Amino acid sequence: MKIRIDPLDKLASLVVKEKANWRCERCGAQHKRGDKGLHASHFHGRAKKSVRWDLRNLNSICHGCHSFFHANPEEHRAWKLKQLGEREYKKLDIDAHLPQKIDKPFIKRHLELLLSELQENK
């Protein structure tokens, strides 16, 4: 089943890439703003709506690193654990498995504010 990308996904993707200054968070490769070779990678897939737009669950990852993580899920898990630390990793995992009511307008406003702050600080 293909997951539909909605405007909130696009906004979250932009926030994650801006936050990482358009660099791959794994290998450090620099990309130009708007480059399609840089992805917003979900640790827990987009079907897990409770963390779909949670920035702890998203990373700015180049196509090559994204492909590597899909082929090597244990490497992805170890990388994410190192990035978040054990406590935050466990919290994200729990949040990913809990059913939650999604408040899209709140999430949208939160992401818009983050994006605005990131762009103002450049």
94 within domain boundaries: yes
**What pLDDT, on the 0 to 100 scale, is given for residue 38?**
97
Provide the domain count of the chain.
Answer: 1
Contacts 24+ apart (CB under 8 A), 93-101: 93/44, 95/50, 95/51, 95/54, 96/44, 96/48, 96/50, 96/51, 96/57, 97/48, 97/50, 98/50, 99/50, 100/49, 100/50
What is the domain extent for residue 21?
A: 13-109
Query: Binning pLDDT at 50, 70 and 90, where does residue 1 land?
Result: low
Mean pLDDT of 87-112: 94
pTM attached to this predicted model: 0.90
8 within domain boundaries: no
